[in-house]
């Protein structure tokens, strides 16, 4: 089997992913800028990913690579000179992509630039203004209500200038040029489930796959949402035909049930593989049909590319109240759920790697399994029955047209059982590739 969830892995990978998230959490990321570079440099401690810099102004399909934004400090002071909003306490306090400003203004005017969440009055919302030059601050609704009338000093030490869009890419060659694409967005500041959990899972998946034999080549993209995938697709449109399967990774650290959103194809092999694994996982899960809204699957599944790329998360974005707020913090994600997501991803990779087509060498009536020692070869009574049934299915459907995944689905047996049966049949020479 491809997955070897040995004792040393159990719990350990989850903790390591959680530690990585903790290290990335304080950094103020955006769709461009030094926060992204710093984050990618941290990932380079785990995998040798390549960092690409794409210049401001480059046309990428219908879009343009934006100016680069960098932020050093930001605050709002009251008339007594006390900081009432401080970027140094939480980078979510600043409207992401705020232009530089330093001026004094009355509360009423300041309020036009303040964002709160009245329905969750203790939390700071996360807001951005990438494509319209603006400035602003986000704060808890309670903090807003405590602001007194008077004059305030607003200071944002940012820059918005020609520079670059930065993204990370890690390509792991396999036996063939056929590729599996994993893509995660890296543009959010201090938010743990949205963005950081995907970055951590992608990093540890890549690290793990480095150590495994690989039928497929694997490409990991660490990109700013929307503009990053559009840019990558524009720069790499001549190689996208190699992408056989893909998943967008994000929101994999919360306690909610695993949710899979199908690719635009609806029933591509990646859709079949993920739904098969979830069905046999023994845990609650949800399947969503494709829609042209969401994360970067929007771009991979645009009609000009129509790549077989689905999205595998836990609770989908926007379906949990902590989403895009300061409550998507280090308490909202756990090593346990990160590790559970990691296991699901590995199981899906196992299906993709091993779902091959075989031919029975004995298609005229059933071969005699007993004389080959294939009856009663394994474990307990139920296990014996299951593996025998799996062998009968594999022998019957291995006619050069069905993949092992097709067989598992048709038989209603787990892929794992089907691969065990296949291994046994290959060992006695009853199957060939």
The residue number with the shortest CB distance to Zn ion is: 194
Nearest Cα residue to 312 out of 360, 274, 358: 274
Q: Least distance in Å: CB of 42 to Zn ion?
A: 20
Asked if 296 is part of the footprint of Zn ion (rule: CB under 5 A), the reply reads: no
Nearer to Zn ion, 96 or 263 (CB): 96
User: Which DSSP state fits 241?
Assistant: G
Q: List the x/- string, 136-175, binding to Zn ion by CB under 5 A.
A: ----------------------------------------
Are 79 and 127 a contacting pair, CB within 8 Å? Answer: no
Distance CA 72, CA 83 (A): 16
Nearer to Zn ion, 194 or 254 (CB): 194
Nearer to Zn ion, 128 or 422 (CB): 128
User: Which DSSP state fits 213?
Assistant: -
Q: Least distance in Å: CB of 96 to Zn ion?
A: 11
Nearest Cα residue to 272 out of 154, 352, 376: 352
Q: Least distance in Å: CB of 60 to Zn ion?
A: 21
Distance CA 175, CA 326 (A): 44
Nearer to Zn ion, 16 or 194 (CB): 194
Nearer to Zn ion, 187 or 408 (CB): 187
Stretch that binds Zn ion, among 45-53, 86-94, 140-148, 191-199 (CB under 5 A): 191-199
Asked if 297 is part of the footprint of Zn ion (rule: CB under 5 A), the reply reads: no
Are 387 and 427 a contacting pair, CB within 8 Å? Answer: no
Stretch that binds Zn ion, among 29-37, 165-173, 190-198, 260-268 (CB under 5 A): 190-198
With a CB cutoff of 8 Å and minimum separation 6, the contacts of 359 are 398, 399, 400, 431, 432, 433
Nearer to Zn ion, 198 or 367 (CB): 198
Stretch that binds Zn ion, among 67-75, 186-194, 231-239, 296-304 (CB under 5 A): 186-194
Q: Least distance in Å: CB of 313 to Zn ion?
A: 11
Nearer to Zn ion, 245 or 311 (CB): 311
Asked if 194 is part of the footprint of Zn ion (rule: CB under 5 A), the reply reads: yes
Q: Least distance in Å: CB of 196 to Zn ion?
A: 11
Q: Least distance in Å: CB of 323 to Zn ion?
A: 7
User: Which DSSP state fits 169?
Assistant: E
* Core vs surface per residue 15-48: b (16+ CB within 10 A) or e: ebbbebbeebbebbbbbbbbbbbebbeebeebbe
Q: Least distance in Å: CB of 194 to Zn ion?
A: 4
Q: Least distance in Å: CB of 283 to Zn ion?
A: 25
Stretch that binds Zn ion, among 55-63, 194-202, 241-249, 280-288 (CB under 5 A): 194-202
Most distant pair of Cα atoms in the chain: their distance: 92
**Where do the DSSP E strands lie in 108-192?**
114-115, 137-138, 151-161, 164-172, 179-185
Nearest Cα residue to 375 out of 359, 364, 386, 360: 386
> What is the three-class DSSP state of 254?
coil
Q: Least distance in Å: CB of 188 to Zn ion?
A: 5
Nearer to Zn ion, 194 or 269 (CB): 194
Nearest Cα residue to 95 out of 107, 87, 103: 87
Number of H-type helices and E-type strands within the chain: 12, 19
Nearer to Zn ion, 194 or 416 (CB): 194
Interacting residues toward Zn ion by CB under 5 A = 194
């Amino acid at each position: 089997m491809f997955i070897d969830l040995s004792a040393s892995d159990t719990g350990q990978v989850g903790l390591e992913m959680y530690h990585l998230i903790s290290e990335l959490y304080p950094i103020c990321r955006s769709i461009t800028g030094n926060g992204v570079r710093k984050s990618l440099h941290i990932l380079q401690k785990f995998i040798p990913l390549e960092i690409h810099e794409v210049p401001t102004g480059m046309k990428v399909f219908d879009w343009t690579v934006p100016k680069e934004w960098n932020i050093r400090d930001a605050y709002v002071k009251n008339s007594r000179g006390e900081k009432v909003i401080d970027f140094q306490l939480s980078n979510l306090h600043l409207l992401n992509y705020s232009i530089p400003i330093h001026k004094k203004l009355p509360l009423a005017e300041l309020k036009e630039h303040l964002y709160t969440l009245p329905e969750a009055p203790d939390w700071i919302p996360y807001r951005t203004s990438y494509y319209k030059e603006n400035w602003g601050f986000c704060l808890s609704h309670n903090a807003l209500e405590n602001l007194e009338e008077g004059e305030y000093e607003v200071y944002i030490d940012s820059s918005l200038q020609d520079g670059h869009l930065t993204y990370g890419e890690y390509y792991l060659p396999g036996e063939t040029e056929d590729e599996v694409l994993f893509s995660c967005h890296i543009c959010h500041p201090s938010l743990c489930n949205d963005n950081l959990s995907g970055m951590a899972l992608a990093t540890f998946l890549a690290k793990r796959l480095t150590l495994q034999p690989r039928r497929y080549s694997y490409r990991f993209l660490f990109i700013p949402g929307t503009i990053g995938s559009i840019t990558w697709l524009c720069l790499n449109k001549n190689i996208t035909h190699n992408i056989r399967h893909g998943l967008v990774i994000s929101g994999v650290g919360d306690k909610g049930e695993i949710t899979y959103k199908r690719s635009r194809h609806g029933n591509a092999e990646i859709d079949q593989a993920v739904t098969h694994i979830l069905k046999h996982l023994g845990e609650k899960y949800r399947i969503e049909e494709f829609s042209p809204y969401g994360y970067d699957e929007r771009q991979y599944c645009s009609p000009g590319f129509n790549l077989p790329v689905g999205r595998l998360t836990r609770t989908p974005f926007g379906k949990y109240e902590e989403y895009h707020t300061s409550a998507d913090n280090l308490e909202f994600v756990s090593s346990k759920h990160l590790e559970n997501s990691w296991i699901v991803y590995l199981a899906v990779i196992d299906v993709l790697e091993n779902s091959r087509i075989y031919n029975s060498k004995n298609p005229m009536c059933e071969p005699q399994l007993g004389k080959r020692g294939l009856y009663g070869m394994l474990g307990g009574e139920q296990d014996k029955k299951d593996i025998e049934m799996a062998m009968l299915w594999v022998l019957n459907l291995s006619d050069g047209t069905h993949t092992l995944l097709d067989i598992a689905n048709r038989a209603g047996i787990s892929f794992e059982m089907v691969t065990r049966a296949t291994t046994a049949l290959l060992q006695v020479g009853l199957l060939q590739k």
